[in-house]
Amino acid sequence: MNLKRRQFLFLGSLGAIGTGFLGWTLARHNNYIDDWAAIAAKPTKKDLLLRFVSVADTGTGAKGQYAVAEAMNFYHQQNPYNLVILAGDNIYNNGEIEKIGAVFERPYQALLKKGVKFQACLGNHDIRTDNGEPQIKYPGFNMQGKRYYTFRRHQVQFFALDTNSNADWKKQLPWLEQELSRSNTPWKVVFGHHPIYASGVYGKNPEFIKTFTPLFQKYGVQLYINGHEHHYERTTSINGTTYLITGGGAGTRPVGHSEWTEYSASSLSFAAYEVYPDRIEVRAIGTDKRVFDQGIIPIKSA
């Protein structure tokens, strides 16, 4: 597979804009950032279409989840958003819906009160109770009563998948291709719980590579977001698609560095995205409220 590293452009150092605004000062060495940059409020750019964040493997109710949630709320205060992609394992250990207060409603109370909408998919832990049905029906996860679904925000269409081993693949895959082919939005973002490319405990998924990457390339999917691996990882553009793991929503595991990896870190964190007509700007943000990775996803590969 042709890994087109140059198709994923790095943001350079951004100076301070106006009095009171912090700049983003990043120094890179061998794909790692040496000086972390604090989150800064930025003037809204005229061509900003959408701002959203993603996080996964959250549902512990423990201090790690609360620390990430606090960073998400701080980022919202500086750069308001109203959408969170919640990429599975929403309730540990067995998807018990009676824990929803402890592992969702209380940790994200500040964001929920501000009207931030969470769009969830099911992880492997979530299906251990009634095959995930209680979560599918839970209003706060906005799953439309379905295991896989699509929704649109401005010029971005999102496609939520059930990537579990017991998913109804015979129906889901034709549905995905049909919905991708029907989409008239310039931006297409797919999310599911399990990774396609990853450098952690589970690694890449050859079957998913065979199944999904041709569809993503055919229909111009620019971004796939997932969890399952408890780390942050951003790939190079692979045939026009960037694969981004934000599984450090409550705990972490070790991560390596593969040929496709642009940046990886074993960090409690979430990812923030700003969508523009020609690009998506991505930032990874840790519990110290600082940016430790950033890059640009172009709307089309060169």
Helix 206-219 and helix 169-182: axis angle, to 10°? Answer: 20
Write down the pLDDT at residue 301: 73
219: phi then psi, degrees, rounded to nearest 5: -110, 10
pTM, to two decimals: 0.88
Write down the pLDDT at residue 37: 61
Helix (H) or strand (E) holding 159: strand 156-160
Helix (H) or strand (E) holding 187: strand 187-191
**pLDDT tens digits in sequence order for the chain, 302 residues long:** 444 333 333 333 333 333 233 333 333 333 333 334 666 666 767 899 999 999 999 999 999 999 999 999 999 999 999 999 999 999 999 999 999 999 999 999 999 999 999 999 999 999 999 999 999 999 999 999 999 999 999 999 999 999 999 999 999 999 999 999 999 999 999 999 999 999 999 999 999 999 999 999 999 999 999 999 999 999 999 999 999 999 999 999 999 999 999 999 999 999 999 999 999 999 999 999 999 999 999 998 76
Structural domains in the chain?
Answer: 50-298 (3.60.21.10)
Write down the pLDDT at residue 22: 32
Q: Are 161 and 172 in contact (CB under 8 A)?
A: yes
